[in-house]
Amino acid sequence: MPISSQISLGMSAEIVARLEPIDETTENSSFASFKEKLKVAIQKKDSSFIKKILSDNVEYSFGADPERKSAVEGFLRYYKIEDKKESAFWKSLRDVLDLGCTKSGEEFTCPYVYSKWPDKYDSFSFVAAIRDKIPIRKKPESSAEVLRFANFEIFKLSREQKTKDWNAIDLGNKQVGFVSTTDVRGPTDYRVRFQKTSDGWKLKYFITGD
């Protein structure tokens, strides 16, 4: 059963909003089957499978790519898919799929953080917790004191403090907390869209940024 999406405002001064996970994969048996096959291909780092599912006009970057011979060739080169040891493509795509997909007509978009993101929150200024009970720490250290735990909340980023592997978030009352970058995600992070065609499910885009 898919988990319903919910945005709750005004819960406390610390909580901006809540964005709970949703996955509508099972609403389409064809896509559910395709998604399982794709996960197996990702696990095996099967580049031939990826080549077969790419749309002829697949999108992968907001910048120009004058050296590409085709969109498919550009995609494969951009993500270094043949370099199975160094390419981050496989993990990035798996992470996106694991976060759940939402349905729109004959298309599915993953993850829900992108497709269900509330427009009122700036894409670059907020992030959402993608798990329940994630620790908000007093310092950007895994051993630091836990201020409280977050449950699928949307947080405003604090631009005053930046550190590797941690996001500084505004907790209100001039208080700043820190969450691991692995526990939160924004709508400009990687996302993917698939479309059903006469040749089966095709990957329309896999992209990050804005």
**Same domain for 59 and 155:** no
Tell me the pairing of strands 54-59 and 200-207. Answer: parallel
**Same domain for 192 and 176:** no
**Same domain for 140 and 108:** no
Residue that wins the pLDDT comparison between 74 and 173: 74
**Same domain for 128 and 52:** no
Enter the pTM of the model: 0.86
Task: Assess if residue 172 is contained within a domain.
Answer: yes
**Same domain for 106 and 154:** no
**Same domain for 177 and 200:** no
Give the rounded percent of residues in the chain with a pLDDT score beyond 90. Answer: 79
- In angstroms, the first-to-last Cα distance of the chain is 32
Task: Assess if residue 87 is contained within a domain.
Answer: yes
Closest listed residue to residue 23, CA positions, set 5, 6, 40: 5
Task: Assess if residue 67 is contained within a domain.
Answer: yes
Task: Assess if residue 171 is contained within a domain.
Answer: yes
**Same domain for 197 and 94:** yes
CATH number of residue 159's parent domain: 2.30.30.40
Mean pLDDT of all residues belonging to the chain: 90
- pLDDT digit string, tens, across residues 112-126: 999 999 999 999 999
Contacts of 73 (CB under 8 A, 6+ apart): none
- Token duo for residue 171: 């907790």
DSSP character at residue 206:
E
**Same domain for 178 and 104:** no
Q: Quick check: 41 and 47 in contact, CB under 8 A?
A: no
Q: pLDDT confidence of 210, banded at 50, 70, 90?
A: confident
Number of Cβ within 10 Å of residue 94's Cβ equals: 14
Structural domain containing residue 109: 25-117+187-207
For helices 89-98 and 29-44, give the axis angle rounded to 10 degrees. Answer: 150
**Same domain for 51 and 61:** yes
CA distance 4 to 20: 7
Closest listed residue to residue 141, CA positions, set 166, 162, 117, 118: 166
Task: Assess if residue 5 is contained within a domain.
Answer: no
Task: Assess if residue 18 is contained within a domain.
Answer: no
Length of the chain: 210
Domain count for the chain: 2
**Same domain for 146 and 107:** no
Task: Assess if residue 15 is contained within a domain.
Answer: no
Helices (H), the chain: 29-44, 47-53, 71-78, 89-98, 112-115
**Same domain for 112 and 87:** yes
- The residue-averaged pLDDT of 9-22 equals 66
